[in-house]
């Protein structure tokens, strides 16, 4: 059942030996497996934001519960994707097998929710007991009028990145290119690959694409509709936003459908402009390029004018940056735009290229975070005494323990930071975080004296 999965090309999962470079080894270190996401979770991250399909988890209820809505992907239409659907495997299913239960669950989901398609996720337990999820899905699909797509991603296959990759394979093999009708390329159209519309990020970029006359065929997968992904092969260009997770997908789409790809990021003024210019160049339309150059200059001026007040308040603050993916390097220039100095930076789950790019952009005096354990972090915070920490949710409690202002820039956030509008939101959120009066209370004597509280209240008002 897992033959093709175990044959995944693992050459890019070798351990890196460079000091401070990201750990890409598949072998879980003791204790690490419990902290980091599994392959099943990684597949859910990629497929879950397809909003008009049902996502059915064939496993114990905890698998579905732990991964439910864990990325905060937003939808402008159907909310079906957020419905937690599971076969809830119990002891009896482990003994007698869960295939019948799966079959009944698929039929029930199809009848109750009328989805465009059903994705069925295999998990550790359903795989270990030998349920043939592929076969059940194939058999039930023959009785229904919608695709039933098995996603063979039991958690024990590896970490989140393996799951991302499996999801890319599923989309390539079973969804993209399956739309009926014309195969013609749509002029000036793009797919955004690895854009999950976290907190509405995608919606910060759409107005710019629209203003420039660029058509978004689909985002794989942010606020995505099943039928749009089926026609993703008609786009003229793929723009890879998260280079780690879906590189395999864009490479295969280039070979099969002749769609070239570029990499880009929509975090920060500089990278947003550069990505729009790169898109215009890659689409090979001189008029579009001319318009884009004028447009980005205007947007940059407008945005810088709006964030000037925040910059004044944030200038010369000193930060520790720890994130993954394109944000690894994109956030370096975003913080620099606000006049913030990076004392130390580090990454997890990024490609060696992302890491190298971050290193090149950072001031040579900035320290690379090599020890990413909690103890390592606490040590570096104690040494550097930063004014703020910009990182993912896992670092939040360490920041709070050390009473350091902290801003979550990963998937746990509630605010969109992409595009020019996202830069304004980011600058505002960072200013609020750093200047919040709460830090004064936390750093003062505890409990605060009555007079201090009243003084602070008066200042805030």
Residues in the site for ligand SF4, rule: CB under 6 A? Answer: 38, 40-41, 59, 63, 66, 123-124, 154-155
Got the DSSP string for 293-344?
HHHHHHHHHHHHHHHHHHHHHHTT-EEEEEE-TTHHHHHHHHHHHTTPEEEE
Residue nearest to ligand SF4 (CB): 155
Name which of 127 and 348 has its Cβ closer to ligand SF4.
127
Angle at 70 between CA 69 and CA 75, to 5 degrees: 45
Shortest spacing between CB 394 and ligand SF4, in angstroms: 17
Name which of 30 and 364 has its Cβ closer to ligand SF4.
30
Alpha carbon distances (Å) from 440 to 152, 334, 403, 435: 50, 26, 9, 9
Q: How would you class 257 by CB atoms within 10 Å of its CB: exposed for 0-12, middle for 13-18, buried for 19 or more?
A: middle
Name which of 6 and 459 has its Cβ closer to ligand SF4.
6
For 446, the enclosing helix (H) or strand (E) is none
Determine contact, residues 40/165, Cβ cutoff 8 Å: no
Shortest spacing between CB 124 and ligand SF4, in angstroms: 3
Shortest spacing between CB 99 and ligand SF4, in angstroms: 18
Strands of 388-391's sheet in order across: 367-368, 341-347, 318-323, 388-391, 406-408
Task: Provide the 8-state DSSP code for 123.
Answer: -
Name which of 41 and 131 has its Cβ closer to ligand SF4.
41
Shortest spacing between CB 399 and ligand SF4, in angstroms: 27
Shortest spacing between CB 155 and ligand SF4, in angstroms: 2
What residues contact residue 5 under an 8 Å CB cut-off, 6+ apart? Answer: 152, 157, 166
Name which of 63 and 85 has its Cβ closer to ligand SF4.
63
Task: Provide the 8-state DSSP code for 236.
Answer: S
Token pair of 59, please?
Answer: 């496993």
Shortest spacing between CB 97 and ligand SF4, in angstroms: 18
Shortest spacing between CB 39 and ligand SF4, in angstroms: 7
Shortest spacing between CB 37 and ligand SF4, in angstroms: 8
Name which of 59 and 416 has its Cβ closer to ligand SF4.
59
Name which of 61 and 306 has its Cβ closer to ligand SF4.
61
Shortest spacing between CB 183 and ligand SF4, in angstroms: 37
Name which of 57 and 381 has its Cβ closer to ligand SF4.
57
Backbone angles phi, psi at 36, to 5 degrees: -105, 160
Name which of 56 and 388 has its Cβ closer to ligand SF4.
56
Alpha carbon distances (Å) from 221 to 292, 298, 301: 25, 30, 31
Shortest spacing between CB 162 and ligand SF4, in angstroms: 11
CA-based nearest residue to 87, from 111, 70, 62, 69: 62
What residues contact residue 142 under an 8 Å CB cut-off, 6+ apart? Answer: none
Name which of 67 and 330 has its Cβ closer to ligand SF4.
67
Name which of 61 and 361 has its Cβ closer to ligand SF4.
61
CA-based nearest residue to 418, from 228, 208, 181: 208
Got the DSSP string for 166-194?
HHHHHIIIIITT---S--PPPTTEEEEET
CA 419 to chain centre: 15
Annotate 80-108 with b (16+ C-beta within 10 A) or e (fewer): bbebebbbbbeeebeeebbbebbbebbee
Shortest spacing between CB 22 and ligand SF4, in angstroms: 22
CA 107 to chain centre: 31
Peptide bond preceding 26: is omega within 30 degrees of 0, i.e. cis?
no
């Amino acid at each position: 059942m897992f033959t093709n999965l175990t044959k995944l090309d693992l050459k890019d999962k070798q351990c890196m030996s460079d000091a401070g470079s990201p750990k890409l080894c598949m072998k879980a270190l003791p204790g690490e497996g419990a902290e980091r996401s599994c392959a099943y979770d990684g597949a859910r991250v990629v497929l879950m934001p397809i909003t008009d399909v049902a996502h059915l988890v064939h496993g114990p209820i905890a698998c579905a519960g732990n991964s439910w809505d864990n990325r905060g992907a937003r939808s402008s239409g159907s909310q079906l994707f957020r419905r937690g659907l599971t076969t809830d495997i119990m002891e009896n299913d482990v003994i007698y097998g869960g295939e019948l239960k799966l079959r009944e669950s698929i039929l029930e989901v199809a009848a109750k929710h009328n989805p465009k398609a059903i994705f069925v996720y295999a998990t550790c337990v359903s795989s270990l007991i030998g349920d043939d999820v592929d076969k059940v899905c194939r058999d039930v699909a023959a009785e229904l009028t919608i695709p039933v797509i098995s996603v063979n991603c039991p958690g024990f296959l590896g970490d989140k990145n393996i799951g991302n990759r499996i999801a890319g394979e599923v989309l390539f093999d079973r969804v993209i290119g399956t739309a009926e009708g014309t195969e013609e390329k749509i002029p000036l159209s793009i797919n955004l690959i690895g854009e999950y519309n976290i907190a509405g990020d995608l919606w910060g970029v759409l107005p710019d694409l629209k203003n420039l006359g660029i058509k978004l065929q689909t985002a794989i997968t942010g606020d995505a509709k099943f039928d749009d992904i089926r026609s993703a092969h008609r786009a003229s260009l793929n723009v890879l936003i998260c280079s780690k997770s879906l590189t395999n997908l864009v490479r295969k789409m280039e070979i099969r459908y002749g769609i070239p790809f570029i990499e880009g990021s929509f975090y920060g003024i500089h990278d947003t402009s550069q990505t729009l210019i790169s898109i215009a160049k890659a689409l090979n339309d001189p008029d579009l390029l001319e318009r884009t150059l004028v447009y980005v200059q205007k947007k940059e001026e407008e945005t810088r004018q709006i964030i000037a007040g925040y910059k004044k308040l944030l200038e010369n603050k000193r930060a520790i940056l720890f994130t993954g993916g394109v944000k690894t390097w994109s956030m370096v220039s975003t913080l620099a735009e606000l006049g913030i100095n990076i004392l130390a930076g580090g990454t997890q789950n990024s490609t060696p290229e992302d890491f190298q790019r971050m290193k090149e952009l950072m001031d040579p005096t900035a320290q690379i975070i090599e020890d990413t354990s909690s103890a390592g972090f606490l040590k570096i915070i104690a040494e550097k005494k930063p004014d703020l920490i910009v990182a993912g949710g896992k670092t939040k409690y360490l920041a709070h323990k050390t009473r350091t202002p902290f801003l979550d820039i990963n998937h746990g956030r509630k605010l969109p930071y992409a595009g020019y509008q996202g830069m304004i939101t980011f600058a505002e959120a960072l200013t609020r975080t750093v200047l919040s009066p709460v830090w004064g209370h936390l750093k003062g004597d505890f409990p605060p004296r009555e007079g201090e509280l009243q003084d602070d209240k008066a200042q805030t008002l």
